[in-house]
Structure 1
């Protein structure tokens, strides 16, 4: 029986050859990252390879959904300006200023509104149905502390939607967890990466009404429309 001959020392690659091969591989990886992967995140494809690998399409979805969500938030936040209140007497102004300073010193995190999540929420369960007209979008989010988990499942009746599952900390720098285009359903576990609000933005790009059924269970508070 013949066994393959072992290579001699002279046939083995030298240290210099190994270092050169490693350097070439590292430079190639950086080049691919800079010219293909990172531009594709912003729907830029200077080489054409990103579109072949479906990376550019993912970037286009990301930009489109982010723009739609931001436009909806701006629209919802636009309210008529409030009429200015009559000027208070000087003594009342001093009293009001003192009350404001004292309340700022002694207010508890729970009284500070949406800027804080003071404790881990107890487990709860919710189910909701929302109907979207053509080109209509909607956002539902939960208040969660970092590390909290919620099991979810949503399904579309009558069509498909574009979606973005994301979270927003109190600093308002949004982070996307998952997104897709022309999707009929999705399920899994949403784990909060930080204290803040976490949930879904859906957009109906079809020409007919669709209804989304969302079921969610876990450690969160205040599942509501944003």
Structure 2
């Protein structure tokens, strides 16, 4: 059997070459940290590159939503949790008419759009009105791995939101999706653990915004947390 020849001392990298490679790797890592990681995660952009790449805006959304959700959860920690599922009003805005109408088309007409699950479970339609500057959190009580199809749309303006889950008994919260200045969203929420999973919305506009949330799937109840 042929064994590879052991390299000679002259073929091995020198201490200077190793130090130079280490320095280059350190500089590259620092550059990535300053230009990509800090802007996209913490909205810290000392070089201005993050804003050019639109990463700083992403970081601003994350930090703003995290701060808002934390403030509202702290404010709600001494209050009671109440359920607020309101009846559907007869009048619908043009936005709801166009958005929600697509929800109930047949699978053949859906053409790839998310349609509420037909499996046995629970269905709710929740109406939420947010005054300027007001935030609210709704959560579904779900088992690990449970799935819920959802559709929500804002009438009268846009909202910031954070779709997340909180394990039963506390623990690290999981953020599934975030957005700023959004008018609607739809999809399937899959619980990564047993607990409360849902949305926090904030109205940053100057007028009242009404959110219509439709949920269908494997959950025990829907609660207003804030």
- TM-score w.r.t. length of structure 2: 0.66
Query: CA 1:161 to 1:31, structure 2 compared with 1: closer, same or farther past 3 Å?
Result: same
Gaps (5+ residues) in structure 1? 1-22, 80-121
Out of 128-137 and 33-42, give the one that drifted further: 33-42
Deviation at 1:76, TM superposition (A): 1.8
Match for residue 139 of structure 1 among 131, 137, 140 = 137
SS in 2 for 1:221: coil
Q: How does 1:123-138 map to 2 (within 5 A)?
A: 123-138=121-136
Instruction: Look at both structures and tell me which one has the larger radius of gyration over its CA atoms.
Output: 1
Supply the RMSD in Å over aligned alpha carbons: 2.6
Query: For 2:74 and 2:138, how far apart are their aligned partners in 1?
Result: 16
Query: For 2:179 and 2:31, how far apart are their aligned partners in 1?
Result: 24
Deviation at 1:47, TM superposition (A): 2.3
Query: For 2:195 and 2:37, how far apart are their aligned partners in 1?
Result: 27
Q: How far does the alpha carbon of each residue in 1:187-224 deviate from its partner, in whole angstroms, 9 at most, with x for none?
A: 11111122221100000111111100000111112111
Gaps (5+ residues) in structure 2? 1-21, 80-119
Query: CA 1:32 to 1:154, structure 2 compared with 1: closer, same or farther past 3 Å?
Result: farther
Deviation at 1:33, TM superposition (A): 3.8
Where does residue 201 of structure 1 map in the other structure?
200
Query: For 2:177 and 2:35, how far apart are their aligned partners in 1?
Result: 21
Query: For 2:190 and 2:28, how far apart are their aligned partners in 1?
Result: 31
Q: How far does the alpha carbon of each residue in 1:145-192 deviate from its partner, in whole angstroms, 9 at most, with x for none?
A: 222111110001111111111111133321211111111111111111
Where does residue 57 of structure 2 map in the other structure?
57
Query: For 2:74 and 2:145, how far apart are their aligned partners in 1?
Result: 29
Q: How does 1:62-211 map to 2 (within 5 A)?
A: 62-78=62-78, 123-170=121-168, 171-211=170-210
Query: For 2:174 and 2:73, how far apart are their aligned partners in 1?
Result: 15
Q: How far does the alpha carbon of each residue in 1:16-57 deviate from its partner, in whole angstroms, 9 at most, with x for none?
A: xxxxxxx9x988974554233321201111222111111111
- TM-score w.r.t. length of structure 1: 0.66
Query: For 1:58 and 1:135, how far apart are their aligned partners in 2?
Result: 21
SS in 1 for 2:37: helix
SS in 2 for 1:147: coil
Query: For 1:70 and 1:45, how far apart are their aligned partners in 2?
Result: 24
